[in-house]
Amino acid sequence: MTTLPATTAPALFADAPRPADEPRGGLGRAGVVTAYLAAVAIPWNGFFLGGLLPGDLLLLLSLMLFAASDLGRPWPRLPAWAWGFAALIVVVTVAHELLPTDPLYLAQRVVVDAAGNPIPEIHTNLGVGGKYLVPIVGMPMAFAFAQLHSSGALRRLMIAFGVGSGISSFLAFAQVLGVTNLPTQLTGVPIADGRSAGLAVHPNFLATPCVMCIPIVMWFALQPAFRDRVYGVSLGLLQLLGIYASGSRGGAAVTALAVVVSIAIMPVYRRVLPTAALFLSLIGAVAFVASPKLGTAVLKAVRLTGGDTTISGSDYVRSQVGAQGIRDFKHSPIDGVGMQVAAEAHNVYIQAMASGGLLLLAGLILFLGGALVRAARARQVQPLAYPLIAAVFSGAVLASLENSLTDRLAYVPAALCALLPAVHRTKTPEVETP
Does a structural domain hold residue 21?
no
Model pLDDT for residues 251-307, shown as the tens digit of each residue = 988 998 998 899 888 877 777 666 656 655 665 565 555 545 445 544 454 444 555
Kindly state the average pLDDT of the residues 222-244.
93
What is residue 269's predicted lDDT score, i.e. its pLDDT? 73
Q: How far is CA 188 from the centre of its chain?
A: 23
What's the CA gap between 138 and 134, in Å, rounded?
Answer: 5
pLDDT value of position 118: 77
Percent of the chain past pLDDT 90, that is, above it, reads 63
pLDDT value of residue 7: 46
pLDDT given at position 290: 53
Contact 246, 232 (CB under 8 A): no
**Please, are residues 55 and 200 in contact by the beta-carbon 8 Å criterion?**
no
φ, ψ for residue 201 (rounded to 5)?
A: -85, -15
Q: Which pLDDT value is given to residue 346?
A: 82
Q: Average pLDDT of the chain?
A: 85
Whether 1 maps to a domain, the answer reads: no
Residue 377 CA: distances (Å) to CA of 241, 316, 373:
33, 42, 6
**353 lies in some domain:** yes
Q: In which domain, by residue range, is 397 found?
A: 31-71+80-426
pLDDT number for residue 181: 95
What are the C-alpha distances in Å from 218 to residues 91, 214, 223, 229, 270? Answer: 39, 6, 9, 9, 12
- Residues 80/82/84/87 CA torsion (nearest 10 deg): -140
What average pLDDT does this structure show over 76-92? 96
Q: Minimal CA–CA distance to 46: which of 215, 249, 182, 244? A: 182
Is residue 205 situated within a structural domain? yes
Q: pLDDT tier at 5 (50, 70, 90 boundaries)?
A: very low
In-domain check, residue 415: yes
* Dist. CA 243–CA 258, nearest whole Å: 13
For residues 319 and 231, the model is more confident at 231
pLDDT-based confidence at residue 110 (cuts at 50, 70, 90): confident
Rounded average pLDDT over 151-180? 96
pLDDT at 383 over 70: yes
- At residue 122, the pLDDT reads 84
User: SS3 of 198, please?
Assistant: coil
Is the model's pLDDT at 82 over the cut of 70?
A: yes
Split into its structural domains, the chain has a count of 1
DSSP letter string, 161-190: HHHHHHHHHHHHHHHHTTS--HHHHHH---
- Whether 393 shows a pLDDT value over 50: the answer reads yes
With a cut of 50, say whether residue 434 has pLDDT above it.
Answer: no
285 located within any domain: yes
Report which of residues 159 and 434 the model is more confident about.
159
Higher pLDDT, residue 169 or 110: 169
- 335: Cα within 13 Å, side-chain hemisphere: 17
Regarding pTM above 0.95, the answer is: no
Of the listed ranges 21-25, 65-69, 377-381, the one predicted with least confidence: 21-25
- Rounded to an integer, the average pLDDT of 127-135 is 95
In a domain, 4, yes or no: no
Residue 9 CA to residue 421 CA, distance in Å, equals 6
Average pLDDT, stretch 48-74? 92
Assess whether pLDDT exceeds 50 at residue 103: yes
Nearest to 156 by CA among 43, 32, 30, 23: 32
Q: Is residue 336 part of a domain?
A: yes
Q: What is the mean pLDDT of residues 194-222?
A: 94
Cα separation of 406 and 132, whole Å?
Answer: 5
